[in-house]
Amino acid sequence: MNQNVNRKHKDSVFSALFSTPEILRELYSAIEGIDIPPDAIVDINTLSDALYMKQINDLSFTINGRLVVLVEHQSTINENVPVRLLMYIGRVYERIIDRDKLYQKKLYQIPTPEFIVLYNGKETFPEYKELHLSSAFKNITGLKLSESGGLPLELVVQVYNINRGYNKEILEKSENLNGYSVLMGKINEYGENLPLEEAVTSAVKYCVEHNILKEFLEIHGSEVINMLFEDISIEEIAAIRYNEGCEDGLEKGREDEKIIIAQNLLAEGSSLEFIQKITGLDMKTIQELSVM
């Protein structure tokens, strides 16, 4: 397996899997129930943070310059995703439109936005649900705006449950999305009885043996295991921190998450080298944690 994949930023398995125009055509065609022709131009414009070399949103791309699509994967239900996507779409537009034309008198038409979330977590969730940005707005009863019957800004997110047994038609039309659903489902299944590291490794092994995402998993090798482990661990830690009411600074929060992940791994008996690879902490810090 090739473990030396060069990346300009640290992305997730989801965004790494759906990282080519061909696979994005397949994904979008399956979700929309239409066929995107192979000659349709797909330009990927996913946002990344140059400072932390980390991807900001999961996927964003344009189709023939007419449509700009933002796709997010969630394994935990997050009602704030419309607000996040509002901020993302503004940054995406800054990258893809000609800002000089915004000052011309004639109307400058921009790609129509579409917002999609693919959910496959453990919590019960309907097959399809729409989330609205307006749900996050504070009450304006008594103001003139509330009497007009409409809001000056809205954003609608289409949420599809891709767990096994849901949205079968979509999964049948996208081999890659179906494979991703199986992979994550197996991680959840094995995670009931195994430490997370073993659950992830066992799920990847299962998929390779059953010819599910086999080529992708073999090409990316242990990097996939590392990405999966980090993604799941950070999501779990974020949920814990939220439930505890923690509101530390962003930078301190990132460092705290790494330390908690390292402590959990040490408790499970993971090697110091593996923990360093997963968290990025220096070896001295990890060794100090191991003797606490």
R_g over Cα of the chain: 21
Q: At 215, is the pLDDT very low, low, confident or very high (cuts 50, 70, 90)?
A: very high
Kindly tell me if the per-residue pLDDT of 287 is higher than 80.
yes
Which long-range CB contacts under 8 A does 212-221 form with residues at least 24 apart? 212/179, 212/182, 212/183, 213/17, 213/176, 213/179, 213/180, 213/182, 213/183, 216/17, 216/176, 216/179, 218/1, 219/1, 219/2, 219/5, 220/1, 220/2, 220/5, 220/16, 221/1, 221/2, 221/3, 221/5
| pLDDT value of residue 181 | 95
| pLDDT value of residue 266 | 78
What are the structure tokens assigned to 159, written together? Answer: 């949420």
Comparing 199 with 55, the larger pLDDT belongs to: 199
pLDDT one-digit tens code per residue, 109-135:
999 999 999 999 888 999 999 999 999
Domain coordinates of the chain in residue numbers?
A: 13-180
| pLDDT value of residue 223 | 80
Query: Averaged over 190-209, what is the pLDDT?
Result: 89
Angle at 43 between CA 42 and CA 49, to 5 degrees: 145
Show Cβ contacts of residue 274 under 8 Å, excluding neighbours closer than 6 positions. Answer: 197, 265
| pLDDT value of residue 152 | 86
What are the structure tokens assigned to 21, written together? Answer: 């125009």
Kindly tell me if the per-residue pLDDT of 241 is higher than 50.
no
Q: At 209, is the pLDDT very low, low, confident or very high (cuts 50, 70, 90)?
A: very high
| pLDDT value of residue 255 | 66
What are the structure tokens assigned to 41, written together? Answer: 């131009």
pLDDT one-digit tens code per residue, 263-280:
877 776 777 887 787 777
DSSP string across 176-219: HHHHHHHHHHHHHHHTTTS-HHHHHHHHHHHHHHTTSSHHHHHH
Q: At 233, is the pLDDT very low, low, confident or very high (cuts 50, 70, 90)?
A: low
pLDDT one-digit tens code per residue, 59-107:
999 999 999 999 999 888 889 999 999 999 999 999 999 999 999 999 9
Angle at 78 between CA 139 and CA 25, to 5 degrees: 115
As a whole number of angstroms, the distance between CA 206 and CA 211 comes to 9
pTM of the model: 0.76
